[in-house]
A and B are shown apart, each in its own frame.
Chain A
Amino acid sequence: MDFKNILNELEQAGQKINGRRELLTGFGSKVMVAALPFAVGSLFQKASAKTTAPDTVPQALNFILEMEYFAYNYYHTGNNTGGLIPAANQAGFLTIENQKKAHINYLNTVITAMGVAPFTPKNYDASAANPLYIVSGAYDFTAAGKYLVFSDYPTFIMMCEVFEDTFIRGYKGEIPAVLGDKGTLELMMRMQSSVGRHASHARYVRRLLGYTSAPEHPSPWITDNIPPDVRLQAYYDGEDAVGQQGVDISGLSGSTGAVPHYSATAAFDEAYDKSVVLSLLSPFKT
Chain B
Amino acid sequence: MEIKIAPVDEQVKEMDKGYDVSRRRFFQLAGGIAGAGLLLSACHKTTPNKDVYIGSGDTALLNYLYILQQLEAAFYTQAFATPYYGLTSSDYDLLKDVRDQEIAHREFFKRLLGADAVPDISTDFSLVTFADRTSVLTYAARFEDMVISAMNGAVRLFTNTDHVLSISKMITVEARHSAYFRNQISLNDFSNGVVDTNGLGQSATPASILTEAQTFIHTTFDKTQLPN
A interface list, Cβ under 8 A from B: 34, 37-38, 40-41, 44-45, 88-89, 91-92, 95, 98-103, 105-106, 168, 171-172, 175-176, 179, 182-183, 185-201, 203-204, 207, 211, 219-221, 223, 244-245, 247, 249, 252-255, 259-260, 263-264, 266-271
Contact = CB atoms under 8 A, between A and B. Distances in A.
A110 B191 CA distance: 23
B199 interface: yes
Interface residues of B, number: 56
Contacts, number: 210
Contacts of A100: 199
Contact of A92 (B108, B111, B188): B188
Interface string B53-93: 00000000000000000000000010000000000001001
Contact of B178 (A106, A172, A176, A197): A197
Contacts of B190: 92, 95, 197, 200-201
Given A193-B175, A220-B176, A172 B164 contact: no
9 contacts: A44-B162, A45-B162, A189-B152, A193-B148, A204-B183, A249-B104, A253-B103, A259-B100, A268-B169
A203 B206 CA distance: 31
B70 to A, nearest CB: 13
Contacts of A221: 97, 101, 173, 176-177
Nearest to A217: B93
A247 B201 contact: no
B127 interface: no
Given A172-B169, A196-B176, A207-B90, 16 more contacts: A106-B199, A172-B172, A176-B161, A186-B156, A190-B152, A190-B203, A192-B175, A193-B202, A194-B191, A196-B171, A199-B176, A220-B177, A221-B97, A252-B107, A267-B101, A268-B170
B39 interface: no
B42 interface: no
Contacts of A186: 152-153, 155-156, 203
Contacts of A211: 90
B75 to A, nearest CB: 13
B101 A37 contact: no
Contacts of A191: 199-201
B3 to A, nearest CB: 14
Interface in B94-118: 94, 97, 99-105, 107-108, 111-112, 114
A269 B156 contact: no
Given A244-B166, A245-B162, A259-B103, A194 B108 contact: no
Contact of A199 (B105, B172, B202): B172
Interface in B160-196: 160-166, 168-180, 183, 187-188, 190-191, 195
